[in-house]
Chains A and B, each alone.
Chain A
Amino acid sequence: MLTKKQLITKGILAVAPHMFSVIPFGIVCGAIGIELGFSPILVYAISIIIFGGASQIVFLQLLSGGASAFIAVTSVGVINSRHLLYGAVLSEYLEKLSFIKKLLISYIVVDQGFAESKKFFQKNKTEPYLHYHLIGTGGTLWICWQLSTLSGIILGSFVPEELGLKFAVPLTFIAIVVQDLKKLDHVIVMITCGLSSLLFFDAPFKSYIIISPIIALFVAALVLRLKK
């Protein structure tokens, strides 16, 4: 059995490599907010209140482009609706927590933390304090995200656009799913999702980001049925 401290440490170590993507992207997020003409306090508050990478950029870009508050808020909701899927997966491992702890831990669940903790949970189902791993991954992501967006706000236009730092985002997710390329069923699901996202990219409110996973999960259900 692992202690709480060991689990937190394992979580931190599991998600730490992704900081090579999270930190550059956080700097870009902060810098874009300033570039679009928003006040530093407002740009930083978004990192705490929304705490959701790409959705923060979309939110500010929409508002600065003259979109209504309704469109901006709806887009954030649609982009972040994928967390419903993460929650559905994690709930199995968090069901023994008290209601208050569930409310608290939910705030720090983001993509990379979900992915790394899910991998760990699957292999260590019997550990009693599993959620400490999620605190390790989510807490690390939260702290690094706050510090890097803050740096981006301070550095502002000093961040060279030519570097194309946003490209670090697809790379961190490639690192997460690349080992599943060994399994044909996963490859089919990934290609379905990827092609759907390109096909529906122009759908309103950035909804491609939830439409394509839903299509891919239907395909996954079909694949499961065929496997039997």
Chain B
Amino acid sequence: MTWSSIIIAGIVTYFMRMTMVALVDRDLLGERVKAVLAYVPSAVFPAIIFPGIFINDYGTFIEINDPKIFGAIVAILVGYFSRNVIATILSGLFSYWIIIFLL
């Protein structure tokens, strides 16, 4: 039962990846749609970022003084000015750890 669900979930996921690349003719999308699609990263990734910061493992909102908010602010500032992915990730993680382990 579990195995068949895994395989179906895998096939469904693969179709999500493959459909637009292999099955749909690009010319079906008009110029306006293409212009809007240029916003895809900005329109998708905040849906992973915001809940990852503001909602805890139990599905409830975190407090305003939660160390994750501090870590995220540090990561945004470091990322904005350094343009460096590693610095962004590590500054966020370390500032989060400093608060939970040292303070």
CA A171 to CA B66, docked complex, whole Å: 16
Contact, CB under 8 Å: B18 / A85: no
Contact, CB under 8 Å: B42 / A20: no
Count of chain B residues with Cβ under 8 Å from any Cβ of A? 68
Instruction: Determine whether B21 belongs to the interface, using a CB cutoff of 8 Å to chain A.
Output: yes
Q: How far is the CB of B64 from chain A (nearest CB, A)?
A: 14
Q: Mark A178-219, 1 if CB is under 8 A from B, else 0.
A: 111100011001111111111001100000110011001100
Contact, CB under 8 Å: B47 / A217: no
Contact, CB under 8 Å: A73 / B92: no
Closest residue of chain A to B101, judged by CB? A162
Q: How far is the CB of A94 from chain B (nearest CB, A)?
A: 6
Contact, CB under 8 Å: A174 / B92: yes
Contact, CB under 8 Å: A81 / B16: yes
Which of A1-9, A104-112, A139-147 lines the interface with chain B? A104-112
Instruction: Determine whether B58 belongs to the interface, using a CB cutoff of 8 Å to chain A.
Output: no
Instruction: Determine whether A69 belongs to the interface, using a CB cutoff of 8 Å to chain B.
Output: yes
Q: How far is the CB of B73 from chain A (nearest CB, A)?
A: 10
Q: Mark A4-38, 1 if CB is under 8 A from B, else 0.
A: 00000000000001101100000000000000001
Instruction: Determine whether A77 belongs to the interface, using a CB cutoff of 8 Å to chain B.
Output: yes
* Residue from the list B13, B52, B53 in contact with A55, Cβ < 8 A: B13
CA A179 to CA B4, docked complex, whole Å: 42
Contact, CB under 8 Å: A221 / B32: yes
Instruction: Determine whether A72 belongs to the interface, using a CB cutoff of 8 Å to chain B.
Output: yes
Contact, CB under 8 Å: B5 / A91: no
Known: A45-B6, A77-B16. A164 touches B35 (CB 8 A): no
CA A221 to CA B47, docked complex, whole Å: 18
Q: How far is the CB of B4 from chain A (nearest CB, A)?
A: 7
* Residue from the list A86, A95, A175 in contact with B88, Cβ < 8 A: A175
* Residue from the list A103, A174, A176 in contact with B72, Cβ < 8 A: A174
CA A209 to CA B16, docked complex, whole Å: 14
Q: Which of A106-151 contact B (CB under 8 A)?
A: 106-107, 109, 111, 115, 118
* Residue from the list A73, A85, A169 in contact with B37, Cβ < 8 A: A85
Q: Could you write out 6 A-B pairs with CB less than 8 Å apart?
A: A49-B10, A69-B2, A88-B37, A95-B26, A177-B42, A217-B36
Mark A residues whose CB is within 8 Å of B: 17-18, 20-21, 38, 42, 45-46, 49-52, 54-55, 59, 63, 69, 72-73, 76-77, 80-92, 94-95, 99, 102-103, 105-107, 109, 111, 115, 118, 162-164, 166-181, 185-186, 189-198, 201-202, 208-209, 212-213, 216-217, 220-221, 224
Mark B residues whose CB is within 8 Å of A: 1-10, 12-14, 16-22, 24, 26, 29, 32, 34-55, 57, 59, 61, 68, 71-72, 75-76, 79-80, 83-86, 88-90, 92-93, 96-97, 100
In the A-B complex, the 10 residue pairs with the smallest Cβ-Cβ separation, listed nearest first, are: A87-B20, A170-B52, A49-B10, A17-B85, A194-B46, A216-B43, A106-B18, A194-B50, A178-B79, A102-B22
